[in-house]
Amino acid sequence: MATDQTYKKKVESAINNPKLSEALHLFGDAYLTSRENAFQGRLDFEAMRKDLAEIKDDVRIRRKELLAEFIKNAEAAGSTVFIAKDTQEANEYVINLAKKKNAKLIAKSKSMVSEEAHFNAALEAEGIKTSETDLGEWIIQLAGQRPSHMVMPAIHMFKEEVAELFSKETGQQLSPDIKSLVNVAREQLRKGYFDADIGLTGANFLVADTGGIGLVTNEGNARLCATLPEVHVVFSGIHKLVRSMEDAVKITRLLPRNATGQLLTSYITWIRGAVPTDGKAKEQHIVLIDGGREALYESKACRDALRCIQCGACANVCPVYQTVGGHVFGSTYISAIGVILTAFYEGLDKAKEITRACIGCRSCSAVCPSNIDLEEIILHLRTQVTQEYGMGMIKNVAFKAVMKNRGLFHSMIRAASKLQRPVTHKNAVDGERPIIRHLPMHFMDRDFTEWRDLPSVAEKSFRDQFKGIVQNVKNSRYKVGFFVGCGADFVYPEVGTSLIKVLNALDVEVVFPQKQNCCGIPALYSGDTETGVDLARQNVEAFTEAEVDYILCVCPTCTMGVKRDFVKRLADSPDWSAKARALSEKTMDASDFLENVLHASEKLTGFKPQGTVTYHDSCHLKRGNKVFKEPRALLNAGGYSVEEMKNSDRCCGFGGTYSFLSHPQISKQITTDKVQTIKAVNSKTVAMDCPGCMIMLKGAMGKADPNVRCAHTIELMAEALDGKE
């Protein structure tokens, strides 16, 4: 409990520092533009990251062979190689080396694994001074902090804070002028290279077929640390192995582009053996650290994480990181990759809170140059956390006792539609559709309705309405099964009725298997795999019996549930697995089906002009299902003029139970960003293709500007059909 409270206090503190979030957002926006420009031209990012993943996977498979090759070639070049089982053993090696050399000062260039080892503290406890020579690392060393980003360790600090630190260090009153501060750092650090007895660097590459290392940096300090002192220590994780220089060069084409949007960094340095220093004897010691990496290599579910080349892009695009920063969302390593590495390098206990901090938007997976499905690995770790520490009474009851029991679940929803009446109010934008503007208990109101309206449960669910819907389809082209999802079934049934209207207009018959249940994603995202498996079976059975040509979803998370998660969760059961795969192959998002199977934008013509809309790309629609052009094509064909908002695919902050039970305050900040973006477009309608996003954005806009309507693309298409000329 103490750990939970400490973590929550860190979250509150970060949220109450709006300058931090502002700085990270400004960087994030600039990064997206720089990265896009860096990959323009003939570079194929998808092909490049697929190639990198294959390189890294081969290294994993052949790691013992390649490690032996590296050691052999490094020793042949005059290097001394030491393999440390953990960071403590690595620190002890350097301490003993320093004592043997009577070393008093170690000049360090940037090394994340030294942060992991708490190297500076360990050496200074033995009376050996360490001096960070990377500008960002020196700033946080003076501040007594740890990095908040793998590439830009001091990104969370402002120039005024840096000026104060430098003033204290130099005894001069310095102005917060960046150029002047950089010059001060250069002057202060320069003497250290010459005074240092040992220079320490990390390594971006351990090249097996040469025994050399590679360094990719933007400052010249790494070269100085490696060459000026008489002893050079390379401090590196064993996972930095690559097979050859050819592989290393391929990575250098990706790393700077994906890390900072640069075509190439300022310095790429290749070192093999001890670099001569004015004819003096020189030593190079290469300390290779396991520290949990071998265990990670052996984890079938998580091992892809060691493909990571530490570009930091997963933080650059992460809405949670941009809200609270790296000192909250990570330990030594931050953001999505940091969740995984913390679990293996420091233990699951250290990672339990940050596994729940991930909102599941898949931004990290979309930009990862090593093609790591970071979200999927975090979900696996969340399952382990739930098994070890539980997921709380509310979720236990909701998922295990209620959601698995379809009859009980639906009965409780119907009861809720009646019990909610005392707290609902009419919504001017949606006519008679009631909303919940305030909850009676203050502590709940703060997290739930202080900054957003909540939707009411529909008086009549879609499944109950479906029985009375007449479909006038004479010559049916396809028979499709509708996987409605909880949001469209119980909150926005009008999305389902709109889908039937649009499909019927295109000669498609819709069937609705009444035995279908929740897709199970809420349970899976909370670490409850058992409930997820049970719900997968219920749905696979329901839709297998339906015998349809396609299965359509109006919720992209449900689409991913049927296409991806059912297959994964039922993989160990041959009978269920075959059925799940069969359903997966014919499951599509509704807009994807309308545009790419029915070619609706070509066939539905003659619409009246419907006005301007802006479009929000739902996370799992664009990044999970690769659908983003299709809704826009449908809207344009339906007479709507789409005006793009800035960062249309940035998360809305929903994340299911994330915004209600896990991190409502983080969610609030992410949603506030999206609301400001919507308001900047000055459109009175926001289209989207996810009921979850509708819950979040309808609610937030209800408080921010109740005249802005949020609607599903399918609803807007149905309305266009009603007004067709």
What per-residue confidence (pLDDT) applies to 2?
39
H helices then E strands: how many in the chain?
37, 21
In 478-577, where do the E strands start and end? 478-483, 508-511, 550-553
Amino acid (one-letter) located at 673 = D
Closest to 518 (Cα-Cα) out of 484, 481, 568, 543: 484
For residues 642 and 613, what is the distance between their CA atoms, to the nearest angstrom?
A: 5
For residues 719 and 725, what is the distance between their CA atoms, to the nearest angstrom?
A: 12
What per-residue confidence (pLDDT) applies to 531?
92
CATH 1.10.1060.10 is right for the domain spanning 293-389: yes
What per-residue confidence (pLDDT) applies to 429?
55
**Pairing label, strands 283-289, 231-237:** parallel
Backbone angles phi, psi at 216, to 5 degrees: -115, 110
Across the chain, which has 725 residues, the per-10-residue mean pLDDT values are 72 90 91 94 93 98 98 97 98 98 96 96 97 95 94 92 94 93 92 94 98 94 94 97 97 95 92 81 94 97 97 96 93 94 95 94 97 96 92 77 80 78 67 68 65 90 95 93 96 97 96 96 90 95 96 98 95 94 97 98 87 97 97 96 96 93 92 96 95 96 93 96 73
CB–CB of 261/31 below 8 Å? Answer: yes
CATH 3.40.50.10700 is right for the domain spanning 601-722: yes
Cα 604 to Cα 485, 522, 593, 725, distances in angstroms: 27, 36, 14, 11
What per-residue confidence (pLDDT) applies to 667?
95
CB–CB of 409/518 below 8 Å? Answer: yes
Q: Report pTM.
A: 0.92
Where do the structural domains in the chain lie, given as residue ranges? 96-283, 293-389, 601-722
